Amino acid sequence: MRLRSMLRFISSSALIAAPLLTGCASADEDAAIASSTDALTAATSGRALCAPSPQPSDGCTTKKAEYLLPHIAVFRDVFQDQCIRHDQCYGALGASMNECDDAFVREMKDRCNDKFNKYWRPVEWSACRSAAEDFYLAVRTAGVDAEFAEMQADAKNRSLWARHYVSSESCGTTPERSQIYHPRLIEEVRAEFRAVLGRNPTTFEFFDAVNLSDPDPTDAVTDPRVWLPGMIRAYAATRPSTAPVASYSRAATWNIELTASPSDAASYYWRVGAYSETAPTMIIPRGQSMYDRRYTLEGFLVVRDAAGTRDLALVSEFVYEPGECSSRRGLPCR
């Protein structure tokens, strides 16, 4: 939960003088948000999988307010996970501010119930729930709409970069793995495609659809939840009725042999670990070492049909290589 919200709440309660509000926004927090795209770029560079890009969170940052509301300081660590999830909810593209706030106070009170028994520790339980209400009221104060809009704008920026990386096949991800989108928005995009075409969008179509622009940014309707569904329906109507669905299977061979589906695609592109391939089947040789090795190969597969429609599937394969000597260092050779 953002420090500026807490300080605004305290100010509105006449607990803090106006001069103390000067520079109340957390510099570290603003820097974290401003650098979210840079972090995504740096983490993704040279990787087969795009780095997840959740909303940066400073947790329950309330240090400047703790001496005014001592119980806030006491319960800051108790609510740390709930504060992080609240920030991430605000920064999930397509989220509802009211739903995020309602979930926030509900989860904090559930945390109080879990940590303090109502009958054995009634004082701590009551104080915890009182602190939960203070945190909730802080995020519901006037001006928080602008913060929510700012975090949604940051999410849209991260979404545009994710689309860039996926579209250029620089790295692979899915809407869920990216940690950018609210689950409801993901389902809404897919539902619009099913309504128009009777199928889900491909991964590439999803990133195109979810990043459509406001058709009239000058009008009073600025909430994407209002205008985006119509834009997605119009976009889906321009797409082919059929599209490839990328998947793969692994053969039971010594080397890692992966075969793409559908088998009649016009082209294929594999990028798994340090390996790449444009044939339907990708073979990655197992290594040999003195001792047992266990690791996971990760990457993606892109299939393209004759019409140029692409789909992407993530690849994740566990590999076990028995050692030539023994299972681990220090044991005698077999």
Q: What is the pLDDT of residues 80-130, one digit of tens each?
A: 899 889 989 999 999 999 999 999 999 999 999 988 888 898 888 898 898
Asked if residue 328 belongs to a domain, the reply is no
Worst-scoring range by mean pLDDT, 42-51, 63-72, 193-202, 284-293? 63-72
Whether residue 277 has pLDDT greater than 50:
yes
Query: CATH code at 279?
Result: 2.60.40.10
Worst-scoring range by mean pLDDT, 94-108, 127-141, 236-250? 127-141
- So what's the pLDDT on residue 329? 74
C-beta pairs of 126-132 under 8 Å, 24+ apart in sequence? 127/71, 127/74, 127/75, 128/75, 128/78, 130/71, 131/71, 131/72, 131/74, 131/75, 131/78, 131/79, 132/75, 132/79, 132/105, 132/108
- Are 86 and 193 in a shared domain? no
- The rounded mean pLDDT for the chain is 80
Whether residue 196 has pLDDT greater than 90:
yes
CA 245, CA 201: separation in Å to the nearest integer?
Answer: 9
- So what's the pLDDT on residue 192? 95
- So what's the pLDDT on residue 64? 47
Whether residue 9 has pLDDT greater than 70:
no
Picking from 315, 332, 314, the residue whose alpha carbon sits closest to that of residue 323 is 332
Whether residue 236 has pLDDT greater than 90:
yes
Say what angle helices 27-34 and 36-44 make with each other, to 10 degrees. 50
- Are 31 and 103 in a shared domain? yes
* Mean pLDDT within 134-157: 83
Give the range of the structural domain holding residue 132, as residue numbers without chain letter. 3-147
C-beta pairs of 97-101 under 8 Å, 24+ apart in sequence? 97/144, 97/145, 97/148, 100/148, 101/136, 101/139, 101/140
Asked if residue 171 belongs to a domain, the reply is no
Query: CATH code at 99?
Result: 1.20.90
CA 96, CA 75: separation in Å to the nearest integer?
Answer: 26
Whether residue 22 has pLDDT greater than 60:
no
- Are 203 and 316 in a shared domain? no
* Mean pLDDT within 314-333: 83
Question: With contact defined as beta carbons under 8 Å apart, do 298 and 48 qualify?
Answer: yes
Asked if residue 170 belongs to a domain, the reply is no
Worst-scoring range by mean pLDDT, 30-44, 169-183, 207-221, 290-304? 30-44
Question: With contact defined as beta carbons under 8 Å apart, do 211 and 232 qualify?
Answer: no
Question: With contact defined as beta carbons under 8 Å apart, do 178 and 52 qualify?
Answer: yes
How many independent structural domains does the chain possess?
A: 3
Asked if residue 331 belongs to a domain, the reply is no
Instruction: Note the pTM of the prediction, 2 decimals.
Output: 0.78
Question: With contact defined as beta carbons under 8 Å apart, do 29 and 55 qualify?
Answer: no
- Are 230 and 261 in a shared domain? no
Whether residue 182 has pLDDT greater than 80:
yes
- Are 17 and 73 in a shared domain? yes
Whether residue 7 has pLDDT greater than 60:
no
- Are 233 and 296 in a shared domain? no
- The SS3 assignment for 147 reads helix
Give the confidence band of 31 by pLDDT, cuts at 50, 70, 90: very low
Tell me which of 130, 147, 164 is where a domain ends: 147
Whether residue 1 has pLDDT greater than 60:
no
